[in-house]
């Protein structure tokens, strides 16, 4: 499985409050949440994002609130993958549980800029910066988590057991 898209780039400590502000948490509809995705950090995001695009960020992406609405909004906005130097742990779990592909890779986070075209190969963990002609090796998931991702989330994984 591969993802290819244009990169939206953010810095350290992107918190779940800016990913999806609490004033919109009176809804749990993915499509509605997607219309406010990243609103408090980047008002242009929802206007520009195309299906398949990729978010790249520095350390501690998704810190703060446990709201699963954050990865749901990102996924529903069409984002195919989030690459970061590190992820906050609840966001990390939530992304896996809802089937939003994420990759931890400090080198990729540093070597990719906004607007770059990037390809992620989830089987090999290789991230290719097509624009710059560089590539990086992401951290592969433990086998247990790969099974959850392959089942497209924890619910399907449990149902299949």
Partner 1 sequence: MGMTMTQKILAAHAGLDKVEAGQLIEADLDLVLGNDITSPVAIKEMEKMKVDGVFHKDKIALVPDHFVPNKDIKSAEHCKCVREFARRNEITNYFEVGQMGIEHALLPEKGLTVAGDVIIGADSHTCTYGALGAFSTGVGSTDMAAGMATGKAWFKVPSAIKFNLVGKPSKWVSGKDVILHIIGMIGVDGALYKSMEFVGEGIANLSMDDRFTIANMAIEAGGKNGIFPVDDLALSYIKEHSDKPYTIYEADEDAVYDEEYTIDLSTLRPTIAFPHLPENTKTIDEIQEDIKIDQVVIGSCTNGRLDDLRIAAEVLKGRHVADGMRCIVIPATQKIYMDAMEEGLLKIFIEAGAVVSTPTCGPCLGGYMGILAEGERCVSTTNRNFVGRMGHVNSEIYLASPAVAAASAITGKISCPCELK
Residues at the interface with partner 1 (CB under 8 A): 13, 15, 17-18, 21-23, 25-28, 40-41, 59-60, 63-69, 71-72, 86, 88-90, 93-94, 97-98, 142, 144, 153-155, 158-159
CB of 145 to partner 1, least distance (A): 8
Judged by CB, which is closer to partner 1: 25, or 150? 25
CB of 135 to partner 1, least distance (A): 26
CB of 102 to partner 1, least distance (A): 13
Centre a 10 Å sphere on the Cβ of residue 29 and count the other Cβ atoms it contains: 12
In three-state form (DSSP H/G/I as H, E/B as E, the rest C), the secondary structure along 47-97 is HHCCCCCEEEECCCECECCCCCHHHHHHHHCCCCEEEECCECHHHHHHHHH
Residues 6+ apart with CB under 8 A from 90: 62, 66
Judged by CB, which is closer to partner 1: 9, or 59? 59
CB of 123 to partner 1, least distance (A): 21
Instruction: Map residue 142 onto helix, strand or coil.
Output: coil
């Amino acid at each position: 499985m591969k993802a290819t898209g244009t990169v939206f780039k953010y810095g350290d400590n992107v918190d779940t409050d800016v990913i999806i502000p609490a004033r919109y948490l009176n809804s749990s509809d993915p499509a509605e949440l997607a219309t406010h995705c990243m609103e408090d950090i980047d008002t242009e995001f929802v206007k520009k994002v195309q299906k398949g695009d990729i978010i790249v960020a520095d350390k501690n992406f998704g810190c703060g609130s446990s709201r699963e609405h954050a990865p749901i909004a990102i996924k529903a906005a069409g984002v195919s993958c989030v690459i970061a130097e590190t992820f906050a742990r609840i966001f990390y779990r939530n992304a896996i549980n809802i089937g939003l592909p994420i990759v931890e890779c400090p080198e990729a986070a540093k070597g990719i800029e906004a607007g770059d075209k990037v390809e992620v190969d989830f089987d090999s963990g290789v991230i290719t910066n097509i624009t710059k002609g560089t590539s990086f090796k992401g951290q592969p998931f433990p086998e247990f988590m790969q099974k959850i991702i392959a089942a497209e989330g924890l619910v399907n994984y449990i149902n299949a057991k």
